[in-house]
Amino acid sequence: MLFHLLSEYINIFRYLTFRNIGAAITSFILVLWIAPFVINKLKEMRFGQQVREEGPSSHLVKTGTPTMGGIFTWSIVIFSTLLWGAWNGFVLITCLSVLLFGIIGFIDDYAKIKQKDTKGLSAKGKLLVQSSFAFIVLVLIYLMPQYHQKSETLELSLVNKNSEIIASTNVILTQDWEWSVSYPSGVSKGQHKLIGSQYDPETGKNKKEKYFDIPVLIKDKIDTQIFSSKVLEDNAFKIITDITRNSTDDKGNIYNESQKSMTNIYKARLFNSFLVPMYTEVVWYWPLWMAFVFFVFIIVGVSNATNLSDGLDGLATGMGISFYIPFGVFAYLMGNALLSSYLFYPYIEGAGELTIFIAASIGAFAGFLWYNVHPAEVFMGDTGSLPMGAAIATVAIMLKQEMLLVVAGFMFVLETISVILQVFWFKKFKKRFFRMAPIHHHFELVGWKENQVVVRFWIMGTFCAIVALATIKIR
C-alpha cells in the first residue's frame, strides 16, 4: 500500500531494503503489542491445547495452554506485507496460500478443542483439502506472465554509422531453446541450430565459446557476405550477442562492421523447469501434468512437515526463522536483473517483492517467539504451522528453488522422515524405531531437556540455512 501511495513522491519507498526493514519491524511490534490481548481472549474462550496422552508425561502440564496463535500471527504478516509490498501476483498468491492453509489449520484446531482430543480432521480429508488448495495456488502461479510458455523472435541487425540497417535476419527462439534461422519476406531457407556460450563476468571470458554464420537476405537476394554472431551469454533466460558482418570494399579489401552487444529477455518454460542448487543449467522439464503433481506434493509435504515440528515450546517458530531467511535472499537476487545475470539465476521480474513477505514473516515469528518460548504462553497450533510450510513452499516454487527446501529446511525434513520411518518400522517389525516420533520427542525421552532439544534444533536449522546460502555462489 505504501509503495503504491508514496513511491512516486518519496524515493526511499522504492527500495526493497527499506521496505523489508519496515515490514519486519511492523510485524514484530504488532505481534508483541497484540499477543497479550489475544492470549487473554483465547483463555476466556477456553481455546486450550489438547496434549496426547501417549506423549511425554512432562507435556501434560501444557494442557489448556491457549492455542491457535497462528490467527493473529499470520493476520499481522499479511497486513505488514500488503502495507509495505507492491501488490503484484507474487505477493497476493503467497498471501492467498497463507489464508487457504490457515483455514484448514483453524478447522483442525477448532475440531480438536470441541472434541477435546488430539485427532481433529481425518488424515485423508485433510490431505484432500490441502491438495485442492495447493492446486488452486499452482494454477494461479502458472497463469502469471512470468511463467508463460512463449516463443520470441530475436532480430539480428547490422547498423552502419548513419544508423541505417544494412542487413538483417531473424532467429526464432523456440520453447526448447533450440534456435533456428528464418529469413525476411517469407523466403524459406535451411535451418541451423545455433549453440551459444556462457559469459563469465569474473574472468571476462566466454565458456565453451562457439560462433555461427548466417547468410542474410537483402532486397530479395541472398547476401553473399556473412553475418558472424558471437553469443556472449546464453543461460536460457537472457541472451547477449555480438554481431559482426564481414564486408568487402570496391578494392577487394575485407573489413568488419560490428554492432554493439544486444540483450534480449527470453521467457522459456520456466514453470515446469527443474533446477537444483549448485548447478546453472535446467536439469529437465517436467511434463505439465507431472509438474503440477510434483508441486502439489511439495506444498502439502512442507506444510505437514512444519506442522509435525510444532511439538515443543518455540521449536517450529525458531526453526521457521532460519528456514525463511535463505529464500528472502534468493528472492532479492532473482528479482534483480543484474544480480541474477551475474550469478547465473533466471531473472524473474517482480519476484523481489517476495522479500517483503519473508521479512514480515520473520518479524512476526520473532514477536511470537517472545510468548512461545518455554514455558509457552501460547501455541501456534495448526492454524499457524500449516501456513508456515505452505507459504515457503509456494515461494520456493515461484523462485524455481524447490530442492532448496530440502537443504534450508532439513530439520523439518528430518522430523517428517522420523514419523514415516516409525510408522513403517512398526508395521513391518511390530517394534518402534524411535522411542517416540517425531524425533524431537525421541530426544526428550533419551534424557534431553525440552530447552536443550529446542535450542539444539535451532542451531542445526541455522547451520542448514547457512549451507543453503552457500549454494548461491557455488554454481
Averaged over 305-311, what is the pLDDT?
91
Angle among Cα 61, 63, 67 to the nearest 5 degrees reads 130
- Between 224 and 308, residue with greater pLDDT: 308
- For residue 387, whether the previous peptide bond is cis, meaning omega lies within 30 degrees of 0, is no
Q: Which three cell numbers stand for residue 420?
A: 514415516
Residue 52: the pLDDT is 60
Q: Which three cell numbers stand for residue 145?
A: 506472465
**Displacement of CA 185 from its chain's centroid (Å):** 44
The C-alpha cell 525463511 sits at: 324
Pick from 2-6, 59-63, 78-82 the range whose average pLDDT is largest: 78-82
Residue 117: the pLDDT is 67
Task: Using pLDDT thresholds of 50, 70 and 90, give the confidence band for residue 61.
Answer: low
d(Cα 307, Cα 101) in Å, to the nearest integer?
A: 11
- From the number of C-beta atoms within 10 Å of its C-beta (0-12, 13-18, 19+), residue 99 rates as middle
d(Cα 114, Cα 398) in Å, to the nearest integer?
A: 37
Task: Please write the tens of the pLDDT for every residue from 310-336.
Answer: 889 999 999 999 999 999 999 999 988
Q: Which three cell numbers stand for residue 5?
A: 501511495
Q: Count the neighbouring beta carbons within 10 Å of the beta carbon of residue 446.
A: 10
The C-alpha cell 548461491 sits at: 472
d(Cα 382, Cα 307) in Å, to the nearest integer?
A: 6
- Residue 175 above 50 pLDDT? no
d(Cα 360, Cα 85) in Å, to the nearest integer?
A: 10
- Residue 408 above 80 pLDDT? yes
Task: Please write the tens of the pLDDT for every residue from 142-153.
Answer: 988 877 644 445
- Residue 133 above 80 pLDDT? yes
What spatial distance separates the first Cα and last Cα of the chain, rounded to whole Å?
37
What pTM, to 2 d.p., does this model score?
0.78
Beta bridge pairs of residue 210? none
d(Cα 353, Cα 358) in Å, to the nearest integer?
A: 9
Identify residue 262 by its one-letter amino acid code.
Answer: M
Residue 377: the pLDDT is 92
Q: Which three cell numbers stand for residue 73?
A: 500471527
Residue 177: the pLDDT is 33
d(Cα 374, Cα 67) in Å, to the nearest integer?
A: 14
